[in-house]
Amino acid sequence: MAVVSITERGSVWVITMERAPANAIEATLLADLERALKKASVSESCRALVVTGRERFFSAGIDVKVVPAYEPDQRAATLRAANRTVHALYSFPKPTVAAVNGHALGAGLCIALACDLRIAAEGRYELGLTEAKAGVPFPAAPLELVRAELGPDHARVLVLGADTFPSSDPRASWFLDRSVPAAELIQEAIAEATARAAYPAYAAVKKQLRAATVERMATIIEQDADPLLSSWP
């Protein structure tokens, strides 16, 4: 059963993570998300993406009940899939907007960080890069993403502190661009995605801006060089 859906809203595709109850990330969700991104990247009818979650969750991050229990081969395959998915979203050749509808933690927050713009729903929910407390280290590509999007000072505070904090906390402004009423979230995200899709040089400039980070991610994937493949028990 698919846990990621695609809804076409004109020229904008809305990708929704729908793995109950919290959109926690494991092999199936990663596979579905990777397929959705690949389909959208080559579709002529898709000019921009909105990425969101279901109900109260954008994504609770890595499923800490499921993934650590994988056999070594499945855990390695999931790690590689996480790197490919983050690379695919960060290098996506069209505008991407994260519509953060609720809790976004750990790897779930990384999915939002990989989008070009992050619009959040007003309301109380938890955010944070919680890998250190959860006991699940960063895969190499998401770590490159965090370094690129947050900068050293903010990354240090969020990654090593591993705190969860409400969306009203000042730290949320380090990675969320603005907030809108929850009922208007998807509409606003689609409007932003549509506007950016009309910029004639958007794809070229995005590629210029992210080239170094995207290249490092690609090297990690091509050379199978994530240190966690040999060090994550």
pLDDT tens digits, one per residue of 115-152: 999 999 999 999 999 999 988 899 999 999 999 999 89
Portion of the chain with pLDDT greater than 90, in percent: 95
The third-level CATH classification (topology) of the domain covering 4-184+197-231 is 2-enoyl-CoA Hydratase; Chain A, domain 1 (3.90.226)
For 146-191, the pLDDT digits (tens) are 999 998 999 999 999 999 999 999 999 999 999 999 999 999 999 9
Give the pLDDT confidence score for residue 109 in this predicted structure. Answer: 98
Who contacts 132 (Cβ-Cβ below 8 Å, separation ≥6)? 159, 160, 162
Q: Residue 108: how many CA atoms within 13 Å on its side-chain side?
A: 32
Give the pLDDT confidence score for residue 231 in this predicted structure. Answer: 86
For 66-89, the pLDDT digits (tens) are 998 999 999 999 999 999 999 999
Confidence of residue 233 (pLDDT cuts 50, 70, 90): low
CB-count exposure of residue 151 (10 Å: 0-12, 13-18, 19+) = exposed
